[in-house]
C-alpha cells in the first residue's frame, strides 16, 4: 500500500474517532467560520428582538382596544399555534383578513 493511501486511511480513522470535527479544520478556516456564524447569530438575535417588540406593540394595542375572556384567549392561542404549525410560520395576513382560508388551505402564496 502506498504512503498516500496509508495517510488517507489514518486521517479518516482519526476523524471518525474524534468527537469534534473542527479539530481537523485549519485554524484560519475555523476562525473565519466562527466569525461568520457569530455575525449571523448577532443579526438573527437583533431581528428577533425587533420582531418581538413589534408583536408586543400590536398585542398592547389590541388588548387596550378589546376585552377578551380567558376562554377567548385560550381558543385564539390554540388556533394560532395550529396555524403556525400547519403553515410552517408562513402566514398571509391578506388571506386571513379576506377569510379565504379554510382548514386545508396552507396560506402560502
3-7, 14-18, 49-53: range with highest mean pLDDT:
49-53
pLDDT in tens, 38-83: 999 999 999 999 999 998 999 899 888 988 899 999 998 998 898 8
Q: Grid coordinates 377567548 are at which residue?
A: 72
Residues 6+ away with beta carbon under 8 Å from 106: 86, 87, 90
Q: How confident is the model at residue 106 (pLDDT cuts 50, 70, 90)?
A: low
Q: Grid coordinates 385564539 are at which residue?
A: 76
Q: What predicted TM-score, i.e. pTM, was given to this entire model? A: 0.49
Measured distance CA(81)–CA(105) in Å, rounded: 15
Measured distance CA(34)–CA(40) in Å, rounded: 10
Instruction: Please say whether the beta carbons of 56 and 49 come within 8 A.
Output: no
In eight-state DSSP terms, residue 20 is: -
Query: What is the chain's mean pLDDT, rounded?
Result: 81
Amino acid at each position: 500500500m502506498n504512503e498516500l493511501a496509508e495517510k488517507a486511511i489514518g486521517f479518516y480513522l482519526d476523524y471518525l474517532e474524534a468527537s469534534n470535527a473542527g479539530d481537523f479544520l485549519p485554524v484560519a478556516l475555523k476562525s473565519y467560520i466562527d466569525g461568520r456564524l457569530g455575525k449571523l447569530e448577532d443579526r438573527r438575535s437583533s431581528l428577533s428582538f425587533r420582531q418581538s417588540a413589534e408583536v408586543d406593540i400590536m398585542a398592547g394595542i389590541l388588548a387596550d382596544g378589546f376585552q377578551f375572556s380567558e376562554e377567548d384567549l385560550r381558543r385564539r392561542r390554540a388556533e394560532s399555534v395550529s396555524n403556525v404549525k400547519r403553515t410552517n410560520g408562513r402566514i398571509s395576513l391578506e388571506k386571513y383578513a379576506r377569510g379565504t382560508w379554510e382548514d386545508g388551505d396552507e396560506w402560502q402564496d
